[in-house]
Structure 1
Amino acid sequence: MSIDTKSVDYVLSTTRAVRRKLDLDRPVEPEVVGTCLRLSTYAPSPGNQQMWRWVVVRDAGRRARLGELFREVGRSYLAGVRADLGAAVEYPSVRRMVDSVQHLIDVIDRVPVFVIPCVQGPRPSGSVEAASFYGGIYPAVWSFQLALRSRGLGTVLTTLHLQREAEAAEILCLPSDVTQVGLLPVAYTTTTDFRPPARLPLEKVAFLDTWGNALT
């Protein structure tokens, strides 16, 4: 089968962290989220154990309760960011980022669907074990985000509510051996015309054989 690499490359390069351009009023069909999650389960996992678990939150009451945790932590977080940055917060690129996060904090409970990625199993203590435990779910999360993007939806992987993890677990009725790794607010986007973000040139981040040796 011939793969349309141009379309694949377009989705890979334009799947952005979407906060301000989420359509808060358009419903998200259950089957769309289901399809994207099903595609995510084809991602590789450590030892092929497939320990990712997903909680899809549609209930307005639970979204409101989770949103309040998110908002309380987020406000404190941004206050600290603004204090640390000082005058630098007024730089255009920094201000856009801070304003984007602030917007999501302000509207989080209006996002039609939350998806909570989780890992089932005991929380590891060692760094190597932790790398496998947490790192094992991120390919699936990214696959989910790509699948959403290709269908006109957007999201961003957030972790703010994890500072209130126990309270969130109670809201979600999670078993004690399930660990949350984030919260994905899911909605259709108000535009589909996303462009690739600015990134460092490849020669600054990729090396050949030894650190610092130019790749090309």
Structure 2
Amino acid sequence: MALLPLDPDQLLSTTRAVRKRLDFSRPVPDDLIRECVSVAMQSPSGSNNMTMQFVIVKDPAKRKAIGDVYKQCYSIYQSMDGVYIRSIDKGEADANAQQQRSADSADYLGEHMGDAPALVIACNMGVRADGTPGMMTSSLMGNVLPAMWSFMLAARARGLGTAWTTVHLMMEQQVADILGIPFESVQQVCLSPLAFTKGTDFKAAARPSADSIIHWDQW
């Protein structure tokens, strides 16, 4: 399919976490998913190990099972004061209003993750990062995080929406059992719905200025 007419900066600044605007009624063709994965495989990989793996879930029963696990985990997440998105005080009215809108969107996905026509689980294969030194953890995650972000950018360019989530990792073993993922040697890193979006007119979000987060030559 034709790519959306987005220049690089537009693509990077308008690839949003999409939840309420996912079209659950429209299937996502396998070839389109393959295109996104092919683009993702061009991302940097530590020591050129290429240990990233993508589990694509389209089977309705498995999607429902994962959605049920996600719903359980999300309920636990909602009880975490100061961690749950709705409980975070930004200290300013406009920012708090945006935070509540994001919370509404996240809550919606908490109920409907299993309704997405496809789920994408990004994994790292070989060694789990549990308890590893900081350098190794960063290296292991550095194999899969750039690939998943590249997948999301490729999806956006093709009119597809994604949303990076991690709460299912509270029950990672259960999801591994549902999908036959070898838990001891393959670590799940994130879960995203994948669906065509309702419209493609996404905009850049309000963010802090560059100068507010840059530290020149020292902290």
How far the C-alpha of 1:63 sits from its partner, in A, is: 0.5
CA contact (8 A) 1:18 1:154 kept: yes
Query: What does residue 42 of structure 1 align with?
Result: 42
How far the C-alpha of 1:127 sits from its partner, in A, is: 1.4
Query: What does residue 95 of structure 1 align with?
Result: 100
- Pair member with larger Rg: 1
User: Structure 1 residues 134 and 192 mapped into 2: Cα distance closer, same or farther (>3 Å)?
Assistant: same
Query: What does residue 137 of structure 2 align with?
Result: 130
1:174 lines up with 2:181 in the alignment: yes
Distance in 1 separating the partners of 2:86 and 2:27:
37
How far the C-alpha of 1:157 sits from its partner, in A, is: 1.0
1:13-45 deviation per Cα after TM superposition (whole angstroms, max 9, x unaligned):
100111111111111111001100011001010
How far the C-alpha of 1:9 sits from its partner, in A, is: 1.2
Query: What does residue 153 of structure 1 align with?
Result: 160
User: Structure 1 residues 149 and 179 mapped into 2: Cα distance closer, same or farther (>3 Å)?
Assistant: same
CA contact (8 A) 1:78 1:98 kept: no
CA contact (8 A) 2:159 2:200 kept: yes
What TM-score results when the alignment is normalised by the length of structure 1? 0.89
CA contact (8 A) 2:85 2:99 kept: no
Equivalent residue for 1:163, pick from 153, 161, 170: 170
Amino-acid identity (%): 35
Equivalent residue for 1:194, pick from 202, 207, 210: 202
CA contact (8 A) 1:20 1:104 kept: yes
What TM-score results when the alignment is normalised by the length of structure 2? 0.88
How far the C-alpha of 1:82 sits from its partner, in A, is: 7.6
Distance in 1 separating the partners of 2:187 and 2:85:
30
Counterparts of 1:25-104 in structure 2, within 5 Å, are: 25-80=25-80, 81=84, 84-85=87-88, 91-104=96-109
Distance in 1 separating the partners of 2:7 and 2:85:
39
Distance in 1 separating the partners of 2:191 and 2:87:
25
Distance in 2 separating the partners of 1:44 and 1:32:
22
1:30-77 deviation per Cα after TM superposition (whole angstroms, max 9, x unaligned):
100110001100101000000001111000000111110000110221
How far the C-alpha of 1:210 sits from its partner, in A, is: 2.7
CA contact (8 A) 1:152 1:189 kept: yes
Q: Which runs of 4+ in 1 moved over 2 A?
A: 79-86, 207-211
Distance in 2 separating the partners of 1:48 and 1:131:
15
Distance in 1 separating the partners of 2:162 and 2:86:
27
Q: Secondary structure at the match of 2:190?
A: coil
RMSD over aligned CA atoms reads 2.0
Q: Secondary structure at the match of 2:156?
A: helix
